């Protein structure tokens, strides 16, 4: 059965996914003479850069998740449908979803990325990912549950496994998460569990490459490492995870470690949808698109953001998988849709790199904007400021700000709640 969407005379643009890209595109089309149908498997947009704070009990989910319908209140050409897209039938201009089928005139795939375990079944089953609100809440529960369990054991091996934390992947997510765990160890958990000896809690950040934050400049990479080590994090570079059975982690350079807390932040892959030609999919699981975000081999199917790879002279491996790329591609695509309706010439995508930043703990961050690089407290302040500006919704900005101020002056994390008990798969 077809999804119940009003039949209109203007073209129907179907957008799959309401991450940074899908959200921006639907907004950019608010004046377009087109019907916009946005489909997402969640009824909210997730501000992913702050997921790690949900996972570490600093923010509640509602602070970084925003109801999609609320964003588009009053945009009359817009229709949201809550469902999962299962398949594209390009020959019929039709998609198959969990809530029915739907015809499109243009289809935009903005499904983003998900955790990449690179085919390792053990890692997928046993390691903890953190790419969605649900996963972040699970991680929060896991951390708290394991400390509750640590109280009950007298076995030293069990205690080691419960109190060792391993974060795999030294990109911004891994660095920020490891920093937040160090803060929990220093300021929060010892108050909650006075019966435990927190000198025994280890936080290890594991990175395959030679350095953390590979995409940043050298000075900043060193700084991030220094900040983390000052916080008590063990940084293991040139070290990959070789095996993990849920209890014992083994590295590719022969180290062994008991841990029930292994968090995987070592890579992402695009969230593909079935039905398109295999030739339009890269070996990293992304759709090849041209300078206009059109998928190779199709006239009216597009992809943008993390799920798209646009090869250019400047970016021979595609653009970095970060929010600004998705947003700028969405702006480009949105304005091109409007131009096409009017018969005007289309613009090619040209990425404007606004810079990159990562925060470490409660007072430090590294920031790069073009040639300008800074860190420390100033960097941290810039990081906070920017994330508050970018958060969707004024209420969320206020609530997050209060939580941050509160946590900062009280050395505290308030949301230490096990509402959704964690169960290992």
- Other beta carbons less than 10 A from residue 390's beta carbon: 14
Show the tokens assigned to 107: 């289809």
Question: How many whole angstroms separate alpha carbon 29 and alpha carbon 404?
Answer: 34
Q: What stretch of H or E contains 383?
A: helix 376-390
- Other beta carbons less than 10 A from residue 205's beta carbon: 30
Q: What is the CA radius of gyration of the chain?
A: 22
Contacting range for a copy of itself; rule: CB under 8 A; set: 26-34, 246-254, 307-315, 393-401? 393-401
Q: Scanning residues 176 to 215, which ones bind a copy of itself (CB under 8 A)?
A: 191-195
Measuring CA to CA, which residue among 110, 79, 84 is closest to residue 331?
110
Q: Scanning residues 299 to 338, which ones bind a copy of itself (CB under 8 A)?
A: none
Helices (H), ranges, 127-217: 133-152, 156-163, 172-183, 189-192
By the rule CB under 8 A, 101 interacts with a copy of itself:
no
By the rule CB under 8 A, 74 interacts with a copy of itself:
yes
By the rule CB under 8 A, 10 interacts with a copy of itself:
no
Report the residue from 11, 27, 94, 100 that binds a copy of itself according to the rule CB under 8 A: 100
Binding mask 143-162 vs a copy of itself (x if CB under 8 A, - otherwise)?
Answer: -xx--x--xxxx--------
Show the tokens assigned to 200: 């025994």
CB of 163 to a copy of itself, least distance (A): 15
Q: Scanning residues 76 to 95, which ones bind a copy of itself (CB under 8 A)?
A: 76, 79, 81-82
Report the residue from 402, 408, 411, 424 that binds a copy of itself according to the rule CB under 8 A: 402
By the rule CB under 8 A, 133 interacts with a copy of itself:
yes
Report the residue from 87, 230, 398, 424 that binds a copy of itself according to the rule CB under 8 A: 398
Measuring CA to CA, which residue among 223, 173, 169, 231 is closest to residue 202?
231
Catalytic residue flag (residue 368): no
Give the list of residues 6+ apart from residue 54 with CB closer than 8 angstroms, or none. Answer: 60, 61, 63, 64, 133, 136, 137, 140, 415
Q: Could you give the angle at which helices 156-163 and 133-152 cross, rounded to 10 degrees?
A: 160
* Residues in touch with a copy of itself (CB under 8 A): 3-4, 6, 42-44, 60-63, 65, 67, 69-70, 73-74, 76, 79, 81-82, 99-100, 133-134, 137, 144-145, 148, 151-154, 191-195, 393, 395-396, 398-399, 402-403, 406, 412, 414-420
Active site residues: 176
């Amino acid at each position: 059965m077809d999804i119940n969407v009003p039949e209109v005379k203007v073209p129907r643009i179907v957008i799959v996914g309401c991450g940074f890209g899908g959200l921006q595109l639907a907004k950019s089309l608010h004046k377009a003479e087109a019907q916009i149908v946005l489909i997402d498997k969640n009824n909210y947009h997730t501000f992913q850069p702050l997921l790690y704070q949900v996972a570490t009990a600093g923010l509640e989910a509602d602070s970084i998740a925003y109801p999609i319908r609320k964003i588009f209140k009053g945009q009359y050409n817009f229709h949201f449908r809550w469902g999962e897209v299962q398949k594209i039938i390009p020959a019929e201009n039709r998609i198959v979803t969990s809530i029915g089928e739907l015809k499109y005139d243009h289809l935009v795939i903005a499904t983003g990325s998900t955790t990449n375990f690179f085919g390792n079944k053990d890692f997928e089953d046993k390691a903890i990912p953190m790419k969605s609100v649900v996963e972040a809440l699970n991680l929060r529960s896991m951390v708290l549950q394991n400390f509750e369990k640590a109280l009950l054991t007298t076995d030293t091996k069990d205690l080691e496994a419960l109190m060792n934390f391993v974060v795999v992947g030294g990109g911004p997510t891994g660095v920020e998460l490891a920093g937040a765990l160090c803060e929990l160890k220093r300021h929060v958990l010892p108050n909650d569990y006075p019966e435990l000896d927190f000198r025994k809690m280890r936080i290890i950040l594991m990175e395959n490459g030679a350095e953390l934050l590979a995409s940043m400049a050298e000075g900043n990479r060193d700084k991030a490492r220094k900040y983390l080590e000052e916080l008590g994090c063990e940084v293991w570079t040139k070290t990959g995870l070789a095996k993990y059975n849920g209890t014992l982690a083994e590295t590719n350079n022969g180290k062994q470690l008991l841990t029930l807390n292994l968090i995987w932040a070592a890579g992402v892959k695009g969230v593909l949808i079935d039905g398109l030609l295999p030739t339009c999919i890269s070996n990293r699981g992304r759709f090849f698109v041209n300078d206009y975000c059109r998928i190779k081999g199709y006239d009216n199917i597009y992809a943008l953001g993390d799920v798209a790879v646009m090869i250019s002279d400047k970016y021979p491996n595609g653009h970095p998988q970060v929010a600004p790329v998705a947003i700028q591609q969405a702006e480009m695509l949105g304005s091109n849709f409007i131009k096409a309706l009017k018969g005007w010439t289309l613009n090619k995508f040209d990425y404007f790199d606004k810079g990159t930043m990562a925060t470490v703990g409660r007072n430090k961050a590294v920031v790069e904007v073009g040639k300008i690089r800074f860190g420390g407290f100033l960097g941290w302040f810039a990081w906070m400021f920017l994330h508050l500006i970018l958060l969707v919704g004024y209420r969320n900005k206020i609530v997050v700000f209060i939580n941050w101020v509160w946590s900062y002056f009280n050395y505290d994390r308030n949301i230490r709640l096990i509402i959704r008990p964690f169960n290992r798969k």
